[in-house]
Amino acid sequence: MFLLILVTPITHALLSDQEMISIAQKEVNKTIPLEYRSEYIFKAIRKSTPELSYDTTYTLIWQRYVNKIIVLEDGFSILIDSENGNIIHKDYSFSVPSSQLDTTPILTSNQAKFVVEKNITDISEERGLEIRGNTLYWTFKVVGGNLVR
């Protein structure tokens, strides 16, 4: 028994990245309340399954930042078919209003690094702040690639 699958090649132009961003931005504007919209920053456009040349869907991703600090759980993503501009799926997450987030760390970066170095000696100079839930964390990259919070 043989199974024959025919894949019809795409013969018309696909939407450009900018056209897909424009479609997605309209959904951002409809979904995210105006008072928080400026906190969601466009980060990436990715082909959904790059190993499949016939897949025409792309995921566009926004990440939430408060005072330039990433809010890990919060974001907006949308899956768009670049053949016709149809929205296949969208996902929006919002955890805590920015007025309830403390973005001023208790420890300085160097103080936090000193505490981390008491337990882990191989940390790089790469560090930053992130918000998870409503808690502010310093993050440090360990030599070899792991992240310490």
**Tokens 């690639």 appear where?**
145
pTM given for the model: 0.75
Say whether pLDDT at 5 is over 70. no
CB 101 within 8 A of CB 134: yes
- The two tokens of residue 7 are 């894949």
CB 20 within 8 A of CB 44: no
Higher-pLDDT residue of 116, 39:
39
> Alpha-carbon distance 98 to 92, whole Å?
16
Continuous segment of H or E residues that includes residue 36: helix 34-37
pLDDT of amino acid 134 = 78
pLDDT of amino acid 146 = 56
Mean pLDDT over residues 68-78, rounded? 92
Say whether pLDDT at 14 is over 70. yes
- The two tokens of residue 70 are 């990433």
Say whether pLDDT at 149 is over 70. no
pLDDT of amino acid 124 = 65
* Alpha carbon distances (Å) from 44 to 54, 81, 101: 21, 16, 25
Mean pLDDT over residues 38-60, rounded? 84
pLDDT of amino acid 42 = 96
Say whether pLDDT at 70 is over 70. yes
pLDDT band, residue 2 (cuts 50/70/90): low
pLDDT of amino acid 96 = 87
